[in-house]
Amino acid sequence: MSESNGAGQLAGKVVAVTGATSGSGLAIARRFAAEGADVVLLARGADRLKALEEQLGPRALGLTTDVGDPDSVQASFDAIKNRFGKLDVLINNAGLHRPAPFEVLTDDEILTVVRCNLLGPVYTCRAAIPLLRAAGGGDIVNTSSEVTLEVFPYEAIYKATKAGLEALGQALSLEFEKEEIRVTTLIQGVALGEGGGSTDWVDSGEHTHLVWPRLQAEGTVNRVIGKHGGMTVESVADVHVFIVTRPRGQKLDVVRARSY
């Protein structure tokens, strides 16, 4: 159970986190709950959602959601409206990172990544805007990647989706600025959870054997992990709290957080 007594710096806020049951999303959900927020957990796995709901306590609401399905997204945000009547923060954390040689990608693999990484945030932002407006303004934080700043092999589709996500954030930031809806792009480096290791960065399923040797030989993995072994997911959660607690009148368009 969460130890928060509602007295944290996010007390009274309603926060939705996509990809909330693993990795950075899990750490973000836990941290926001500890800061006193009502946390809406959005993910596909019903069993993991239920377990996290029980762990975080009565102010956590788990909603089985496929961000790549617009009907699923709208149903979840309708549930948020019915429960809370507003939304203060949307964290678009869900993402798929599956490096693979471009020519071996199947249509289904391409569509799966595009739906999760780019269309998912399009759908969630569209559904969240009326609820953020009802709150009198709020924050959207979109998780991008260092792949938009550097060129890595085997990342063509991932890079394209994250570049599109950054463009989406720029456009929405301007469109909704007068309504006090701030949109921040978080360019996030590798973040490892408990028991993580460098091989976690390259989890390409059946394509791993095609990807790993080159990335290892060229030093790509060591470069992105950094000499400190990567950020922790808890430190990523700290960055999210920092972003959404900036005073009104201050806006963080782009934040880069990485290991070195």
| Tens digits of residue pLDDT in 123-180 | 999 999 999 999 999 999 999 999 999 888 899 999 999 999 999 999 999 999 999 9
Annotation says 158 is catalytic:
yes
For the chain, the average pLDDT equals 90
Q: What pLDDT does residue 2 have?
A: 40
**Residues in CB range of 206: below 8 A, 6 or more apart:** none
- Taking residues 239-246, what's their average pLDDT? 98
Q: What is the C-alpha to C-alpha distance for residues 133 and 235, in angstroms, rounded to an integer?
A: 29
- Label residue 230 by pLDDT band (50, 70, 90): confident
Q: CA separation (Å) from 68 to 12, 37, 117, 180? A: 29, 26, 8, 27
**How crowded is residue 202: how many other Cβ atoms within 10 Å of its Cβ?**
18
The CATH code that applies to domain 14-257 is 3.40.50.720
User: Any idea what DSSP says for residue 6?
Assistant: S
Coil, strand, or helix at residue 235?
Answer: helix
Q: What is the C-alpha to C-alpha distance for residues 195 and 183, in angstroms, rounded to an integer?
A: 32
DSSP string, 75-140: HHHHHHHHHHS--SEEEE---------GGG--HHHHHHHHIIIIIHHHHHHHHHHHHHHHTT-EEE
* Active-site hit among 123, 154, 158, 260: 158
**Residues in CB range of 150: below 8 A, 6 or more apart:** none
- Taking residues 62-72, what's their average pLDDT? 98
Kindly tell me if the per-residue pLDDT of 198 is higher than 50. Answer: no
The domains of the chain are located at 14-257
Choice between 230 and 32, residue whose per-residue pLDDT is larger: 32
Q: What pLDDT does residue 1 have?
A: 34
Q: What is the C-alpha to C-alpha distance for residues 87 and 126, in angstroms, rounded to an integer?
A: 13
The C-alpha R_g of the chain, in whole angstroms, comes to: 18
Which H or E run contains 42? strand 38-43
46-56 vs 23-34: helix crossing angle, rounded to 10: 30
Q: What pLDDT does residue 191 have?
A: 87
Nearest to 177 by CA among 132, 241, 144: 132
